[in-house]
A and B are shown apart, each in its own frame.
Chain A
Amino acid sequence: MNARILAATTGRILRQLRHDRRTIALLVLVPAVLLTLVYFMYADQPTPPGQPTTFDRIALVMLGIFPFVIMFLVTSIAMLRERTSGTLERLLTTPLGKLDLLFGYGIAFGLAAAVQAAVAAAVAYWIFDLETAGSIGLVIGIAVLDAVLGVALGLLCSAFARTEFQAVQFLPVVVIPQLLLCGLFVARDQMAGWLQALSDAFPLSYAIEALQEVGAHAEPTGRMWRDVAVVFGAVVLALVLAAATLRRRSG
């Protein structure tokens, strides 16, 4: 990797995003609109005494899931565009390293996700009175890490997609099982053993658990740091695997 090339690549991806105003508007506004839906869905639900409200429980998890899903999709398409436009082949004939390109995407979309997560968290906390024992800063930090996880998995999956149709199909294949088993619908310890094993193998489960730890504890817990480390490790692993699937030579 080379700092100058990495910075240039990150800047180039952000500049592409800047020219696409509608995408920026969608990135920033959609999570806030969806949170509004969730708020009114659960507005009249009774809360058992001593428990967080259903909205608090769901909204906190959603703050991590939105950036993960959206960045996975955006990255899959962006990387596929690099392939089909011929720019990827050209980049691979320049001094650019494969990791410069992959980390460039990770950093650029991570920055976009930071804006997205900050707006969504602001709406959740200040308009809908989301309450968490831990700090809003940690929630945003973990949400950004979730977004970067989405970017890394998107980059890896895009290596296996030749067309846009295939790329979009990776959402139900890669993202939805992780959503189903992350503990949002059924608590992880109440699932059948083999489902728990799958859940343990999915990085999103740790990302969601980290958010739930912040929701329940005023101070960062050891379990939260372990979860963050697992997600971070999954990001690095996915990026390295994505680099290994990028071939400079082709038939």
Chain B
Amino acid sequence: MDDAIAVRDLVVDRGGRRVLDGISCRVPRGAVTGLLGPSGSGKTTFMRAVVGVQLVSGGTVTVLGQPAGTPALRHRVGYLTQAPSVYADLTVRENARYFAALYGRGRVEADRAISDVGLAEAAGQLVATLSGGQRSRASLACALVGEPELVILDEPTVGQDPVLRADLWARFHAMAAAGTTLLVSSHVMDEAARCDQLLLIRQGRLIADDSPAAIRAAAGVDDLDEAFLRLIRAGEAASTSTDATAARETA
């Protein structure tokens, strides 16, 4: 029972549409797990289910040994939403200090979270005056400021410059080395190689759940993008042949 997250047969319907269709997987502790998939594949819904803010139709989500959404987990889980959710009419520092206070942390932790995301020089600036990339880093600082055991990050590196992106990934791995579990979503395949473990979802189904090396080996190619394409094609071929068999049987 050393998994940070254990998901069994998770089904979620939104607006009459099945968004997640029977997902089962485990996320190991103290590692960076990538949640990869195209836009609309169900990544955000999956993360919302883990954080415990998503109404689910079926299945179970266990987080740090407790059912997702349990009040005690709110002290131990940090969540970065895809759209930056910080107060635009406060400064970066005021935002970080407020979220720090919610977790019982102080000014020192708030200032550290701000410099960890490379915003030390903009700490006194109103969030409304920041660039899109800075704004999403301000939001990231507020997710990390409580020093949670499990961090759920929905596309944290979108719109960041390459140097900052590398810095952020180094930061994520340093956190993992210190024992924090990270679940990071991305729709950019080149980020997949930076993760210790990968979950690939497409159209609400889990297509791959393994380390990048194992996925490369299974597909027989070095390029992860190509490996995923082969896995998807193989999956589609399998389901079409089942459909064909079913059609023949009905005929």
Chain A interface residues toward B at CB < 8 A: 4-5, 8-9, 11-12, 15-16, 19-20, 85-87, 89-96, 248-251
| Chain A residues whose C-beta falls within 8 Å of the C-beta of B87 in the assembled complex | 12, 16, 85, 87
| Chain A residues whose C-beta falls within 8 Å of the C-beta of B75 in the assembled complex | 95
Q: Are the CB atoms of B81 and A86 closer together than 8 Å? A: yes
Distance in Å: Cβ of A225 to nearest Cβ of chain B: 37
B contacts with A: majority SS: loop
| Chain B residues whose C-beta falls within 8 Å of the C-beta of A93 in the assembled complex | 51-53, 74, 77, 79
Among candidates A4, A15, A19, residue contacting B104 with C-beta atoms closer than 8 Å = A4
Q: Can you list 14 A-B contacts (CB < 8 A)?
A: A9-B98, A12-B94, A15-B94, A19-B89, A19-B90, A19-B126, A85-B87, A87-B87, A93-B51, A93-B53, A94-B146, A248-B53, A250-B53, A251-B54
Known contacts A5-B102, A90-B81, A94-B103; A249/B74 CB under 8 A: no
B172 within 8 A of A: no
Q: Are the CB atoms of A95 and B102 closer together than 8 Å? A: yes
Q: Tally B residues with Cβ within 8 Å of A.
A: 31
Among candidates B83, B89, B142, residue contacting A20 with C-beta atoms closer than 8 Å = B89
The 3 closest A-B pairs by CB, nearest first: A86-B85, A8-B101, A12-B98
Q: Are the CB atoms of B53 and A249 closer together than 8 Å? A: yes
- Complex Cα gap A248–B49 (Å): 12
Given contacts A11-B98, A250-B53, 14 further A-B contacts (CB under 8 A): A9-B98, A12-B87, A16-B90, A19-B89, A86-B83, A89-B85, A93-B51, A94-B146, A95-B74, A248-B53, A248-B69, A249-B54, A249-B55, A251-B15
Interface centre among B52, B53, B86 (most CB of A within 10 A): B53
Q: Are the CB atoms of A90 and B54 closer together than 8 Å? A: no
B178 within 8 A of A: no
| Chain A residues whose C-beta falls within 8 Å of the C-beta of B90 in the assembled complex | 12, 15-16, 19
Among candidates A4, A20, A91, A251, residue contacting B101 with C-beta atoms closer than 8 Å = A4
- Complex Cα gap A56–B132 (Å): 54
- Complex Cα gap A92–B103 (Å): 13
| Chain A residues whose C-beta falls within 8 Å of the C-beta of B89 in the assembled complex | 16, 19-20
- Complex Cα gap A73–B51 (Å): 32
Chain B: which residue is nearest A5 at the CB level?
Answer: B102
Q: Are the CB atoms of A90 and B85 closer together than 8 Å? A: yes
Q: Are the CB atoms of B74 and A250 closer together than 8 Å? A: no
- Complex Cα gap A89–B143 (Å): 13
| Chain A residues whose C-beta falls within 8 Å of the C-beta of B81 in the assembled complex | 86, 89-90
Known contacts A85-B88, A87-B85, A90-B81; A248/B52 CB under 8 A: yes
B99 within 8 A of A: yes
Q: Are the CB atoms of B85 and A85 closer together than 8 Å? A: yes
Distance in Å: Cβ of B94 to nearest Cβ of chain A: 6
| Chain A residues whose C-beta falls within 8 Å of the C-beta of B74 in the assembled complex | 93-95
Distance in Å: Cβ of A57 to nearest Cβ of chain B: 40
- Complex Cα gap A11–B88 (Å): 16
- Complex Cα gap A249–B86 (Å): 20
- Complex Cα gap A221–B246 (Å): 84
| Chain A residues whose C-beta falls within 8 Å of the C-beta of B55 in the assembled complex | 249-251
Known contacts A19-B126, A89-B81, A90-B79; A5/B54 CB under 8 A: no
Give residues of chain B (157-202) contacting chain A, Cβ–Cβ below 8 Å: none
B14 within 8 A of A: yes
Chain A: which residue is nearest B143 at the CB level?
Answer: A90
- Complex Cα gap A96–B102 (Å): 6
| Chain B residues whose C-beta falls within 8 Å of the C-beta of A4 in the assembled complex | 101, 104
| Chain B residues whose C-beta falls within 8 Å of the C-beta of A16 in the assembled complex | 87, 89-90
- Complex Cα gap A86–B99 (Å): 14
Chain B: which residue is nearest A94 at the CB level?
Answer: B102
Chain B: which residue is nearest A86 at the CB level?
Answer: B85
| Chain A residues whose C-beta falls within 8 Å of the C-beta of B53 in the assembled complex | 89, 92-93, 248-250
| Chain B residues whose C-beta falls within 8 Å of the C-beta of A86 in the assembled complex | 81, 83-85
Give residues of chain B (61-82) contacting chain A, Cβ–Cβ below 8 Å: 69, 74-75, 77, 79, 81
Chain A: which residue is nearest B45 at the CB level?
Answer: A251
